């Protein structure tokens, strides 16, 4: 069976070309770039914060990995579309301001978990997400805008945010 080795080599190369072809032409082609830190300027309006927050939840925040926009069967985390109203409701139940509650949900998420969901969210001010104070306030503004009034602003909300970060640090969260 002379030439067997050559035939085998052709088979090996052929299979590899086939798999590379599937990878190149049957799978979607896109790169995943590292996120850029967004600079939030003093005096930014609430509308601008909301727009910025939306950009962050779809990019650096990676919120959409778990949170769907609309209600879906089997969703892992609450839907974004009505989350502002949920924030107001839950804050009232827990005797907190919506502002404090939304920051707690971002930096100390294990403290209170919505019924029907699991405690799986990491504190997003810490690595690997590492949102800055400005970015966190922008995300909070966007979340509030989904069914409620936006009460957070930059830099006025920083003390409330820092208070929640302190509570999380004392708890020694992951």
Residues making contact with another protein (CB under 8 A): 1, 4-5, 7-9, 11-13, 15-17, 19-20, 22-25, 27-34, 58-59, 62, 64-66, 68-70, 72, 74, 76, 118, 120-122, 126-129
Task: Kindly tell me which of 66 and 85 has the beta carbon lying closer to another protein.
Answer: 66
Task: Kindly tell me which of 14 and 94 has the beta carbon lying closer to another protein.
Answer: 14
DSSP characters over 117-173: S-S-PPPTTSTTT---HHHHHHHHHHHHTTTS-----TTTTHHHHHHHHHHHHHHT-
Task: Kindly tell me which of 58 and 156 has the beta carbon lying closer to another protein.
Answer: 58
CB 93 to another protein: min, Å: 23
CA distances from 48 to 14, 44, 92 (A): 54, 6, 27
Task: Kindly tell me which of 51 and 153 has the beta carbon lying closer to another protein.
Answer: 51
CB 57 to another protein: min, Å: 8
Query: CB within 8 A of 54, min separation 6: which ones?
Result: 142
CB 32 to another protein: min, Å: 4
CB 68 to another protein: min, Å: 5
CB 64 to another protein: min, Å: 5
* Structure tokens, 86: 């949920």
What is the C-alpha to C-alpha distance for residues 110 and 113, in angstroms, rounded to an integer? Answer: 6
Task: Kindly tell me which of 77 and 152 has the beta carbon lying closer to another protein.
Answer: 77
CA distances from 85 to 24, 52, 79, 82, 163 (A): 44, 20, 11, 6, 23
């Amino acid at each position: 069976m002379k030439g067997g080795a050559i035939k085998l080599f052709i088979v090996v190369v052929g299979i590899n070309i086939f798999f590379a072809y599937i990878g190149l032409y049957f799978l979607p082609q896109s790169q995943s770039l590292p996120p850029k830190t967004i600079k939030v300027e003093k005096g930014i309006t609430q509308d601008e914060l909301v727009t910025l927050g939306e950009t962050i939840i779809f990019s650096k925040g990676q919120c959409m990995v778990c949170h769907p926009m609309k209600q879906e069967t089997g969703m892992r985390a609450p839907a974004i579309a009505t989350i502002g109203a949920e924030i107001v409701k839950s804050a009232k139940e827990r005797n907190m301001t919506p502002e404090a509650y939304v920051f707690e949900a971002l930096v100390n998420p294990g403290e209170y978990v919505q019924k029907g969901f699991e405690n799986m969210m990491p504190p997003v001010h810490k690595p690997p997400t590492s949102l800055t104070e400005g970015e966190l306030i922008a995300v909070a503004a966007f979340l509030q805008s989904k069914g409620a009034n936006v009460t957070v602003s930059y830099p006025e909300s920083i003390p409330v945010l820092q208070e929640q970060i302190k509570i999380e640090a004392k708890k020694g969260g992951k």
